[in-house]
Chains A and B, each alone.
Chain A
Amino acid sequence: MEYKAEKLDIPGDLWVKCYKCGNAIYNKDLMLHQKVCPKCGYHFKLTFSERVGTLADEGTFQETASNIRSRDFLSFIDSSPYSRRLESSAKKSGLSEAIIIGGCRIGGREVSLGVMDFSFMGGSMGSVVGERVTRMIEHAIERKVPAVTVTASGGARMQEGIMSLMQMAKTSGALARLRAAALPHICVLTDPTTGGTTASYAMLGDINIAEPGALIGFAGPRVIEQTIRQKLPSGFQRSEYLLEHGMVDMVVERKDLKDTLVKIIDFFGK
């Protein structure tokens, strides 16, 4: 399978309205800028294939663990059965799950890569996401290469109940093994990364990189507002706020992300 940056897709036809500055952007212009608003710098969400297009060397991404699938083991039904939600999410996103993992090269350096996609059930972490993250890390250990994770997730997948919570322990345990193998984990946090994903592998990068303006937190802003019954300060839980509070190493614009990754990988390499 091949993913190209040119295949960036955005709803609508020729023009797109920026969520942040409200300006109309010519679609082609937005694509040229890797879906970053040329007027205000707002970073639109990327799909899995768009992200791979911006990071992996062309044609090098080889997907692994593509054949593992979620199972509705709790027979969970909210407004629709979990099994149907999985089907419609797969259809809508064109993906098998909320994360795709595989091996690829970034600037010629081999890495084990995991990319989350918010369009598959809000990037929620269930058993398949947990298993794939774990295998992605295990591949890194087997091949002695860095693990790179790009997160976008609303947190744990409630439809899998406690098993989604257990994925936090499983993925963090895998990172303990990676640490013991003296291999780096580089985590790129994108908008949004919250809940159980943040409270496990997303915050466990040796290097944590955030895209500008991304919402990153443990609890969602609404939950916090309801708990403390006051308005949240502006910029709260955004990348720049996390940088200020020591939770991420750097905030990197999308156009500089690949180069930054290459430099970091080189530092840790032999």
Chain B
Amino acid sequence: MDPSPSNLMDFERPLAELYRKIEDLRKISASGSIDLSQEIKMLEKRIEHMKRDIFAGLSPIQVVQIARHAQRPTTLDYLNEIFEDFIELHGDRCYGDDPAMVGGLARIEGRKAVVIGHQKGKTTKENLARNFGMAHPEGYRKAMRLMRMAERFGKPVITFVDTPGAYPGIGAEERGQAEAIASNLRDMSEIEVPILVIITGEGGSGGALGIGVGNRVLMQEFAIYSVISPEGCASILFRDAKRSAEAASAMKITSRDLLGLGVIDEIIKEPAGGAHNDPKQAMRNVKAAILKHLGQMEKMSAAEIVEDRLSKFRRMGEFTES
């Protein structure tokens, strides 16, 4: 499960040398008759300690790096790993099919659910095909089509949020990016089945919220959720995109900050080193959270579900009233 040094983020560099040492010892072990397994074990322990220390004191911009890590599990990884019998569905029935937004029918431990999520790629080629997880209006409309279907058949909706933002392009504007997101915000408010939202990577602004209006909003430990990217905020407010670290701190975008602000309901623990470091464990944690929350919402009536979701977002806001 150890990441290759090329996958390490800059703040993980101290680990690189230890990984290299282990590699050397392994080679020696394999080639000769000397047993170095004890030494290797010790080094591995040191790595674990170091990792825990590093990941306990991450700065917000370092969390951003983890949230954007190319090897971070994607929506389809979750669908293949923790769900069974996934049937992918395509198209918005108006214009096209958006590869940056996937969705379909799935089961999790026997429970049925309609699952929807942004889809990023892991390689440049995949990312070009997936538009880096930036959906067009047809993506949001496909998502709503599937949610309405879930509602008709009384199945809960689970969404995975991981996008830099809704795509800002000519076609997206012409086909009503703003209208598509706005309609989703309104219509998700009135959907009569439970909606469980999990922010797994980048929760990029309106593009994230467009599938993010849930009865429960959960967030992985090293995911981020923000109104604008740290780079965007820095370039507008600080007039310098390089000051993104400051912007990341100022905007309060980490899971712990957002739990404190009451914007999310729960943090899903990630393995030390981030979800990409031990995807199986990360996905098991997500699965447990899904089962817990689906179970809790099972007994609610349609009216209760709608009221619960509406009042949750109705309460959001920080102001004084004299």
Measured CB to CB, the residues of A under 8 A from B are 67-71, 73-74, 76-79, 127-128, 130-131, 134, 156, 158-170, 172-177, 179-180, 195-196, 198-204, 217-219, 223-224, 227-228, 232-233, 236-237, 245-247
Contacts and interface: CB of A to CB of B under 8 A. Distances in A.
B318 A165 contact: no
Contacts of A202: 178, 182
Contacts of A196: 205-206, 227
Given A67-B322, A161-B226, A218 B166 contact: yes
A161 B181 contact: no
A218 B205 CA distance: 12
Contact of A78 (B181, B186, B238, B320): B238
Contacts of A158: 227-228, 233, 236-237, 251
Contact of B253 (A156, A162, A180): A162
Nearest to B190: A176
B314 A127 contact: no
A227 B182 contact: no
Contact of A198 (B182, B237, B251): B182
Contacts of A168: 182, 185, 206, 209
Contact of B209 (A169, A204, A228): A169
Contact of A199 (B182, B213, B263): B182
Contacts of B176: 203, 245-247
Contact of B186 (A130, A131, A173, A223): A173
A156 B178 contact: no
Contacts of B225: 162
B174 interface: yes
A218 B206 contact: yes
Contacts of A70: 319
Contact of B318 (A71, A204, A217): A71
Contacts of B310: 173, 176-177
Given A159-B237, A219-B168, 18 more contacts: A68-B319, A79-B239, A127-B318, A162-B225, A168-B182, A169-B213, A172-B213, A173-B185, A176-B186, A179-B186, A199-B206, A200-B182, A201-B182, A202-B182, A218-B178, A219-B177, A224-B169, A228-B170
Interface of B: 166-170, 172-179, 181-183, 185-187, 189-190, 205-206, 209-210, 212-213, 225-228, 232-233, 236-239, 250-253, 258, 261, 263, 309-310, 313-314, 316-322
A199 B227 contact: no
A128 B318 CA distance: 8
B95 to A, nearest CB: 12
A216 B143 CA distance: 24
Given A199-B181, A218-B177, A78 B237 contact: yes
A233 B189 CA distance: 36
Nearest to A172: B185
B227 A165 contact: yes
12 contacts: A74-B252, A158-B227, A158-B237, A163-B263, A170-B316, A176-B310, A199-B166, A204-B183, A223-B168, A223-B232, A227-B167, A236-B170
A224 B170 contact: yes
B291 to A, nearest CB: 26
A165 B261 contact: no
Question: Which 3 A/B pairs are nearest by Cβ-Cβ distance?
Answer: A219-B168, A172-B185, A127-B317
Contact of A77 (B173, B174, B250): B250
Contacts of A73: 318
A166 B317 contact: yes
A127 B228 contact: no
A236 B173 contact: yes
Nearest to A161: B251
Given A164-B227, A204-B183, A227 B169 contact: yes
B262 to A, nearest CB: 9
B245 to A, nearest CB: 14
Contact of B181 (A68, A79, A218, A236): A218
A132 B296 CA distance: 33
A18 to B, nearest CB: 27
A174 to B, nearest CB: 8
Nearest to B224: A162
Nearest to B165: A219
A223 B239 CA distance: 14
Contacts of A237: 173
Nearest to B233: A158
